[in-house]
Each structure stands twice: as C-alpha cells, then as structure tokens.
C-alpha cells in the first residue's frame, strides 16, 4: 500500500484514538459532571435530584454508551456545554479560534521573513564570521522559551521607551485592521522567535547541501551570476525541509500559543484551554483539546501530502 | 573517557558540556540546600533589594534571596527534567524494542497508541494530564514523561528493526542466546548512540516544558521555587525590580542552550554523516 493511502487510512483511526483518550482522561477526573457544575452544593442534592441530573448529563449509562453518544454528538458539532460560560463549547471555541489562527499565521510570516534570508546568508558565507554570528543567534533563539522572549520584550519596551503593549479589549482583524495588527505584532514576534531560529538553522543546512550538488556547480561553471545561482537554482530545492518544518511548526503554533496568549492577555484558544483547566470546566477542556488535536492532525496530514508532492523521489511507504 | 575527550574536543560540545556540568553542580547544591541563604527565609526589611554583596541577585517581594531561590529553582527544574526524561527513555526503549522484536499485533498496538499521543501538541497533552491529575511537581514529571515517550519509542523502534535483520542477531539466535540477552546486549547496545543524542535534546525540551508549566501555575507549586514560577512572579514587578526577571530568564536560556549545544555535538560525534552540513 502506498504511503499516501496508508496515511489517509490511519488518519480517522488515530483521530478516533485521540477522541477515546480525551473522553477517558476527562472521566478520570475525581467527581462527576454534577460535582463539577455544583461544587460542594452537590452534597445537598436529594437522591432523586441527583438521579435526574445524572440522567440529564447521561452519566447514568454505561461508559461505552456514554462514549458512543458523546462521539455522535461530536460528529454533529456538539462538544458539550461549558459550565462556566453557559454556552455550547463549540460556539466559544469558534469565537476564540480566529485569533489563534491569525497569531499562528503571523508568527509563521515573521519566522519565514527572518529565518529564510538569514539561513541563505549564512550558507553562502559558510564558516566565515558572519555565518558564525547567524549560527550563534539561531542557537540562542532556539534555546529561548517564547514566554521568556515575551517577558523580555515587554520589559525592554517599558524600561527603554516607557510603553507597554496594549492589553485591554482585543480588536478583531475585520473590525479595525490597523488596531488589530498593532495588538498582534508583538505576540507574533514572540511566538515566531524560536521558529525563526529553527528556519534559519534548517534553511542554512539545506542550502549547504544543495550548494554542493553537481547541478549548482554546473550552473556556476556556465557563468550564471551568483545571485541567480543562489535564489533561482539552489533555493527552490533547499525549500523542501523548510516547508516540512513550517507545516509541523504551524501545527504546534496552533496548539502551543497558550503561553504567549497568556502573557499578552489575548483571548485565544490556548488561553481558553488554560482558563477551562483552572476553572475545572471539563466539557470545555474536552472540546478544546479535541478541536486543537484535530487541527494539529489535519495540518500534519497536509504537510505529509505536501512533502510527497514537492519531492516525487520520496516514496516513504516503500522504504518503511 | 574517549567520549568525554570527543565532546570537549568539539567546539559546541566544549561550551555545552561546560554549561551542563556547571548547571548540574548548581542544581545539586540547590537541591541539598547548600545556598547562600535559606531560599524560603523572608528578610522583610530587605524586600525588593537590588543585587549587592549580601544578596548577589537581590531579593524578591517577600525579602527572599533571589540567588538562593534560583539555585533551588534550577535544582527543582533539573529534578523534573531528569526524572521525566529518565522515565520517557525507559518506557520508550522498552516499548520500541519490544515493538521491533515481537512485531505483528504488538507492534501495531504500540505504534498506534504512540500515534495517538503524537496527535496532540506537547504542551496541550501535558495540560490535559495536569487537568486530570491536578498540578504539582510529580504531575509535571509524569506529564512530560508521557509526552516524550512516543518520541523515544520511535527513535528506538526504527533502528531496532534494522539491527534485528542483521546477521549478527541471526548468529546470536543460532547460538542459542536468550531473547533477553539479544535484546539487551545486541539491540540495546547498538542503540546507545541515537538514544544519547535524543536524551540530551529531550532534557532541553523538558526544561522548557517544565518552565512553561510552572509559569502557567500548573507545575511546581509555591512556596517551592522553580525557574518558570520565578518568572511568573516577576511579571508585575519587572519595572521596579528587573533582577527578578533577568536572572531566571538568563538561567533558563543558558541551561537549554547548554543541552542543545551538547546534543548537537553528540549528534556530530556519533553520526559523522551530519558533520558536513551541521547547522
């Protein structure tokens, strides 16, 4: 079976596994949905009231029946009701998702705009001082957690210029694009910082490999200008690992923006998960985790498909 | 010894190795309480004192010595990182080796479970586990270990499959070597190189994850100190007391940098193929 067919076939199975993991994990939490909703007041319920609530939440049925009805609900877009917000979990998730998506996209732009030219620059000056400088910066960038970058940016701005990033009411992109971009630029730089370092390292490494290939040597010996050799002949082939890395990192950005959203007080999906955990809103935790895992898996699947499409020599299924 | 010589003969290895050795010493001192002051003692008259001869890195809002708390925090962060990576390495190695050796249904079950765990971004899976069990140091250890087990399983299973098909393994079978002997002496010993690199890099990731979880208030709990927790505490005071931010921030960066440099050096030393284009 080809790699692609196998990958497409295993996708729903892994997704099913992820749904079981999320469902079981939430059921392992001490106490049930009634305790989660009423807290200590759950102890005041009469047995009849408790039974009625158990029937309402569906927790009076066997665990397999509960999973099946939950799964059917998920397929119909019902991820449960958030106890804290009093709204369907999916509605809240979809309200918060555009911000996280925008943050991930902008971070990716920052990373590619900085990392790609830096990597190409370093590769063309291999083992020189400027190459060493780029490598050192990239290594430091990769070793700096994004929340540390965020805190240092906020400190530098407040100590150096006496300004603080806007952390009040968030403005959606389509309401006021300029104000929105003003609010999102620092979080994007923060989140894209380590990603830019990874892009720099991988694009430098890939460019070094490609620059030593025969076809590049041929182009050079034919007298093709250096700029053209680098940007037109070498770079397109060096982009394959960069595309793969970007795709995988994008998936992580969608799920891992929680720390940056927390620092800049952005009402995104990551912060929603954190709030839900801290407030013990398990339906929302369950919905958010499943939603993010689904997106993460879809992005990874698309990356794998792009990987095979970009480089027809790759036939992973045959070698594995 | 020859490995140590190779590490300290490599430019990244020299820097990374030195950083890691210094950090391990500081972590041990911090863990055993050999610090300039008691990390929990509050010197109330000296609250938010800037660094000076008595308090090398200043004091925090409660008058606690930042240097002592930092040493203690490094000890705490390293404890979590080392324990979680040790657990993940053990679990990943056992699962990867047995999946490669037994194959068929067992391989299918193990690898599909690993696929499911890999379907979650690392921090999200850790958050889910903490949501279930509740925050704390040992929950962080378990969460980080579970998050990184699939990576070790994959790192072990791939090479183990190819080693399993080699002639010397067949020869060992023919000579009547036990399954345990072949798994530990032939397969595992040949996997030491990729495992060493992975362990070093995983230590950097787990330090990062631990700091992140503690920063969110879901890892180490006060009054114990951890680097992430110290950074979280510095948020509202950074303008007036920047030392509360700068020292833990630099400490986290350099510790992760040390493990990354050491991991890169080990990869170069143990896999000469990567040497030419090592970034």
- Indicate if the alpha-carbon torsion angle A117, A121, A127, A133 is positive or negative: negative
DSSP for A40-106, please give it.
GGGGG--HHHHHHHHHHHTTTS-HHHHHHHHHHHHHTT---B-TTT-SBHHHHHHHHHHHHHHHHHH
For residues A46 and B246, the model is more confident at: B246
B166 DSSP assignment: S
Q: Output the six-digit token pair for A53.
A: 């609530």
B187 vs B272, residue with greater confidence: B187
Tokens of B111: 């690898």
Q: Cβ contacts (< 8 Å) between A252 and chain B: which residues?
A: 121-122
Q: What integer pLDDT is reported at residue A186 of this predicted model? A: 92
Asked if A158 is an interface residue toward chain B (Cβ–Cβ < 8 A), one would say yes
Q: Who among B212, B256, B279 is closest to A204 (CB)? A: B279
CB contact under 8 A, A17 and B234: no
The whole-angstrom distance between residue A200's C-alpha and the CA centroid of its chain comes to 19
- Chain B residues in contact with A22 by the CB 8 A cut-off are 128
The token duo for A210 is 């490609």
Measured between CA atoms, the residue of chain B closest to residue A255 is B121
CB pairs under 8 A between A and B: 137
Of the listed ranges A249-253, A288-292, B136-140, B270-274, the one predicted with least confidence: B270-274
A227 class by beta-carbon count within 10 Å (0-12 exposed, 13-18 middle, 19+ buried):
exposed
Inter-chain touch A151–B249, beta carbons under 8 Å: yes
Confidence of residue B274 (pLDDT cuts 50, 70, 90): low
Question: Dihedral sign, CA of A228, A229, A234, A235?
Answer: negative
Query: How far, in Å, CA of A250 to CA of B156, rounded?
Result: 26
Number of Cβ within 10 Å of residue B10's Cβ equals 20
User: pLDDT at residue B273 above 60?
Assistant: no
> For chain B, how far is it from start to end, CA to CA, in angstroms?
26
B chain contacts of residue A205, beta-carbon cutoff 8 Å: 277-279
Longest dimension (CA), chain A: 89
What pLDDT does residue B188 have? 87
For chain B, give the mean pLDDT: 89
Whether residue B279 is predicted with pLDDT greater than 70 in this model: the reply is: no
The model's confidence at residue B214, banded by pLDDT at 50, 70 and 90, is very high
Buried b (16+ CB within 10 A) or exposed e, A272-300: bbbbbbeebbbbbbbbbbbbbbebbbebb
Query: Phi-psi category of B104—alpha, beta or left, where left has phi over 0 and alpha has psi -120 to 50?
Result: left
Which residue's structure tokens are 């680097």? B227
Distance from the Cα of B131 to chain A's closest Cα (Å) equals 6
A196 vs A52, A135, A299, A307, B228, CA distance in Å?
55, 12, 19, 20, 23
Query: Using CA atoms, how far apart are residues B261 and B263, in angstroms rounded to an integer?
Result: 5
Whole-number Å distance between alpha carbons of B207 and A186: 25
- Residues sharing a CB contact under 8 Å with residue B21, sequence separation 6 or more, in sequence order: none
> How many other CB atoms are there within 10 angstroms of residue B170's CB atom?
11
* Cα–Cα distances in angstroms (integers) from residue A96 to residues A47, A91, A107, A270, in the given order: 38, 9, 17, 9
| Euclidean distance between CA atoms B90 and B69, whole angstroms | 31
By C-alpha distance, the chain A residue nearest B227 is A148
Q: What is the CA radius of gyration of chain B?
A: 22
CB contact (8 A) between residue B128 and residue A255:
no
Amino acid B272: pLDDT: 54
Q: What is the ipTM of this complex?
A: 0.86
B216 to A259: CB separation less than 8 angstroms, yes or no: yes
Give the model's pLDDT for residue A133. Answer: 93
The verdict on A138 touching B (C-beta cutoff 8 Å) is: yes
Rg (CA), chain A: 24
CB neighbours of residue A60 within 10 Å: 14
Q: What is the signed CA dihedral for B71, B74, B79, B80, rounded to 10 degrees?
A: 140
Tell me the C-alpha distance between B244 and B48, whole Å. Answer: 9
- The token duo for B245 is 């931010």
Closest Cα partner for B47 from B65, B72, B35?
Answer: B65
| Weakly modelled stretches of chain A, pLDDT under 50 | 317-320
Q: What's the pLDDT at A256?
A: 64
- Alpha helices for A143-234 (secondary structure H): 146-160, 177-211, 214-221, 226-228
Q: Give the C-alpha separation, B42 to B24, whole Å.
A: 26
Q: pLDDT tens digit string along A211-247?
A: 888 888 898 888 888 888 888 888 888 888 888 888 8
**Length of chain A as a residue count:** 320
**Mean pLDDT across the stretch B159-182?**
87
Retrieve residue A218's tokens: 């041929």
Nearest to A147 among B121, B212, B217 (CB): B212
With contact defined as beta carbons under 8 Å apart, do B79 and B31 qualify?
A: yes
Q: Which of B112, B131, B251 to mutate to test the interface with A (most CBs of A within 10 A)?
A: B131
The per-residue pLDDT for B276 is 46
Nearest CA in chain A to B216: A259
**The dihedral sign for the CA sequence A128, A129, A134, A135:** positive
Burial B71-85 (b: 16+ CB within 10 A, else e): bbbbbbbbbbbbbbb
A13 touches chain B (CB under 8 A): yes
What gap in Å lies between CA B59 and CA B241, rounded to an integer?
9
- Report the gap between the CA of B54 and the closest CA in chain A (Å): 26
Inform me whether the pLDDT recorded for B79 exceeds 90: yes
> Which letter does DSSP use for residue A233 in this model?
I
């Amino acid at each position: 079976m080809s790699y692609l067919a196998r990958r497409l076939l295993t996708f729903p199975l892994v997704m099913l596994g992820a749904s079981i993991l999320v469902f079981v994990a939430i059921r392992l939490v001490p106490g049930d949905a009634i305790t989660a909703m009423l807290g200590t007041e759950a102890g005041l319920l009469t047995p009849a009231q408790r039974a009625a609530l158990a029937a309402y939440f569906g927790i009076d049925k066997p665990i397999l029946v509960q999973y099946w009805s939950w799964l059917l609900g998920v397929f119909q877009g019902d991820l449960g009701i958030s106890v804290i917000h009093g709204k369907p979990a999916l509605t809240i998730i979809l309200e918060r998702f555009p911000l996280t998506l925008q943050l991930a996209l902008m971070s990716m732009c920052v990373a590619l705009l900085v990392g790609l030219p830096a990597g190409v620059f370093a590769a063309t000056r291999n083992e020189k001082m400027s190459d060493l400088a780029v490598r050192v910066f990239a290594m430091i960038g990769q070793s700096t957690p994004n929340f540390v970058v965020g805190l240092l940016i906020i400190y530098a701005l407040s100590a150096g210029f006496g300004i603080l990033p806007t952390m009040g009411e968030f403005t959606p992109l389509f309401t006021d694009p300029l104000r929105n971009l003003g609010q999102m630029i620092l979080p994007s730089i923060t989140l894209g910082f380590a990603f830019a370092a990874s892009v720099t390292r991988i694009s430098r490494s890939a460019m070094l490999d490609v620059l030593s290939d025969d076809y590049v040597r041929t182009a050079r010996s034919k007298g093709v200008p250096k700029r053209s050799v680098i940007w037109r002949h070498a770079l397109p082939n060096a982009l394959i690992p960069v595309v793969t890395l970007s795709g995988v990192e994008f998936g992580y950005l969608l799920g891992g923006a929680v720390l940056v959203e927390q620092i800049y007080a952005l009402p995104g999906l990551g912060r929603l998960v954190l709030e839900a955990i801290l407030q013990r809103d398990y339906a929302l935790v369950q919905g958010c985790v499943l939603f993010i895992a689904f997106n993460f898996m879809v992005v990874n699947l698309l990356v794998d498909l792009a990987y095979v499409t970009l480089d027809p020599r790759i036939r992973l299924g045959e070698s594995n | 010894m020859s490995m140590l010589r190779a590490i300290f003969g490599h430019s990244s290895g020299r820097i990374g190795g030195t950083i890691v050795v210094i950090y391990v010493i500081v972590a041990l001192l911090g863990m055993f309480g050999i610090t300039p002051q008691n990390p929990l003692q509050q010197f109330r008259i000296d609250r938010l004192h800037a660094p000076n001869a008595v308090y090398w890195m200043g004091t925090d809002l409660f008058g606690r010595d930042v240097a002592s708390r930092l040493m203690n925090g490094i000890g705490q962060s390293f404890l979590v990182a080392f324990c979680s990576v040790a657990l993940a390495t053990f679990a990943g190695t056992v699962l990867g080796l047995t999946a490669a050796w037994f194959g068929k249904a067992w391989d299918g079950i193990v690898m599909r479970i690993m696929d499911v765990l890999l379907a979650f971004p690392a921090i999200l899976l850790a958050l889910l586990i903490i949501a279930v069990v509740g925050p704390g140091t040992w929950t962080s250890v378990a969460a980080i270990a579970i998050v990184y087990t699939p990576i070790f399983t994959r790192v072990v299973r791939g090479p183990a499959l190819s080693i399993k098909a080699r002639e010397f393994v067949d020869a060992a079978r023919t000579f009547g070597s036990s399954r345990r002997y072949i798994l530990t002496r032939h397969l595992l010993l040949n996997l030491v190189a990729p495992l060493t690199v992975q362990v070093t890099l995983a230590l950097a990731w787990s330090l990062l994850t631990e700091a992140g979880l503690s920063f969110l208030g879901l890892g180490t709990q006060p009054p114990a100190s951890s680097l992430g927790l110290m950074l979280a505490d510095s948020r509202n005071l950074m303008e007036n007391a920047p030392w509360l931010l700068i020292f833990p921030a630099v400490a986290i960066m350099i510790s992760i940098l040390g493990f990354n440099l050491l991991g890169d050096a080990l990869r170069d030393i143990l896999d000469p193929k990567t040497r030419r284009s090592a970034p």
